[in-house]
A and B are shown apart, each in its own frame.
Chain A
Amino acid sequence: MSQHDNEPVEVRIRIGGPAGFGIKAAGQTLARLFMHAGYETFDLTEYPSLIKGGHNNYLLRVSTEEIFSHVEPVDILVALDADTVRLHLGELTEGGAVIFDPEAVDIDEIEGVPDSACLIDVPLKQIVYDAGGVPIMRNTAALGAVLGHMGFPLEYLTDSITAQFAHKKPEIAEQNVACATAGYEYASEHGCAFPYEMAPRERRGGEERILVDGNEAAGAGALAAGIGLYCAYPMTPASSLLHFFAKHGETYDVVTKHTEDEIAAMNMVCGGAFGGTRSMCATSGGGFSLMVEALGMAGVSESAVVVGLFTRPGPATGMPTWTEQSDLRYAIHASQGEFPRVVLAPGDRDDAFHLTWQAFNLADQLQTPVILLGDSYLSDNRQSIPPFDTSRVEIDRGDLIAEGEVSEYRRYAVTDSGVSPRALPGVTGAEQIVNSYEHDEYGFGAQGEIAEVRIAQNDKRMRKLDLARTLVPPPAYFGPEEADLSILLFGTTKMPVREAMKWLERDGVSVRMMQLVTVWPFPAEEVSAFLGEAKRSAIIEGNHTGQLQGLVREQCLVDVDHTLHRYDGRPFSPEQVRAFIEEVCG
Chain B
Amino acid sequence: MPAVKEYTTTNKPTWCPGCGNFGMWEALKRALSELEMEFADYSVVWGIGCHGNGADFLKTQGFHGLHGRALPVATALSLTRPDLKVIVEMGDGDGYGLGMGHFVHTVRRNVDITCIAHNNQIYGLTTGQASPTTEHGMRTVSTPSGVLEEPVNPIGLALAEGATFVARGFAGDIPHLTELYKEALRHEGFALVDVFQPCVTWNKLNTFSWFRERVYKLEESGHDTTDRTAAFDLSLTTFHDMTCTPEECRIPIGVFYREEDTPSYNAGVKASQTPGWRSAREPRDISDLLASFS
Contacts and interface: CB of A to CB of B under 8 A. Distances in A.
Given A277-B279, A425-B81, A226 B284 contact: yes
Interface residues of B, number: 55
A249 B79 CA distance: 14
Given A212-B293, A267-B72, A255 B269 contact: yes
A478 interface: no
Nearest to B38: A428
B276 A255 contact: yes
Contact of A275 (B69, B80, B281): B80
A207 to B, nearest CB: 11
Contacts of B275: 275-277, 426
A249 B271 CA distance: 8
Contacts of A261: 101
Interface in A434-460: 434-437, 443-446
Interface string B79-114: 111011000000000000000011001000000000
Interface string B58-81: 011111111001001111110111
Contact of A434 (B64, B66, B79, B287): B64
B244 interface: no
Interface of B: 9, 11, 14, 38-40, 43, 45, 48, 53, 55-56, 59-66, 69, 72-77, 79-81, 83-84, 101-102, 105, 269-272, 274-277, 279-284, 286-287, 289-290, 293-294
B66 to A, nearest CB: 5
A473 interface: no
A220 B255 CA distance: 47
Nearest 4 CB-CB pairs, A to B?
Answer: A277-B276, A226-B280, A228-B276, A271-B76
A428 B280 CA distance: 21
A267 B69 contact: yes
B61 A275 contact: no
Interface in A213-231: 216, 220, 223-229, 231
Contacts of B101: 260-261, 263-264
B52 to A, nearest CB: 8
Interface string A256-275: 11011101110111111011
A121 to B, nearest CB: 36
A264 B72 contact: yes
B279 A271 contact: no
Interface string A226-245: 11110100000000000000
Given A275-B80, A428-B40, 17 more contacts: A223-B289, A253-B271, A264-B72, A271-B65, A271-B76, A272-B276, A275-B81, A275-B275, A276-B277, A277-B280, A394-B283, A397-B280, A425-B84, A431-B39, A431-B59, A433-B64, A434-B63
A54 to B, nearest CB: 29
13 contacts: A211-B294, A226-B281, A229-B276, A253-B270, A267-B69, A277-B280, A278-B279, A279-B276, A390-B283, A425-B61, A426-B61, A444-B55, A446-B14
B66 A297 contact: yes
A432 to B, nearest CB: 6
Nearest to B45: A271
A223 B55 contact: no
Contacts of B11: 444, 446
Contacts of A388: 290
Given A271-B72, A394-B283, A425 B43 contact: yes
Given A255-B269, A264-B102, A428-B39, A211 B293 contact: yes
Contact of A229 (B39, B65, B76): B76
A431 B279 contact: no
A425 B63 CA distance: 10
Interface string A341-361: 000000000000000010010
B289 A294 contact: no
Given A229-B276, A263-B72, A395 B281 contact: yes
Contacts of B84: 275, 425-426
Contact of B294 (A210, A249, A425, A437): A210
Contacts of B69: 263-264, 267, 294
B61 A432 contact: yes
A208 B294 CA distance: 8
Given A255-B271, A259-B72, A436 B81 contact: no
Given A426-B81, A437-B64, A231 B76 contact: yes
B284 A431 contact: no
A423 B43 CA distance: 13
A263 B102 CA distance: 9
A513 to B, nearest CB: 28
Given A260-B102, A293-B66, A446-B11, A278 B280 contact: yes
Given A264-B102, A277-B279, A224 B284 contact: yes
B271 A254 contact: yes
A90 B288 CA distance: 43
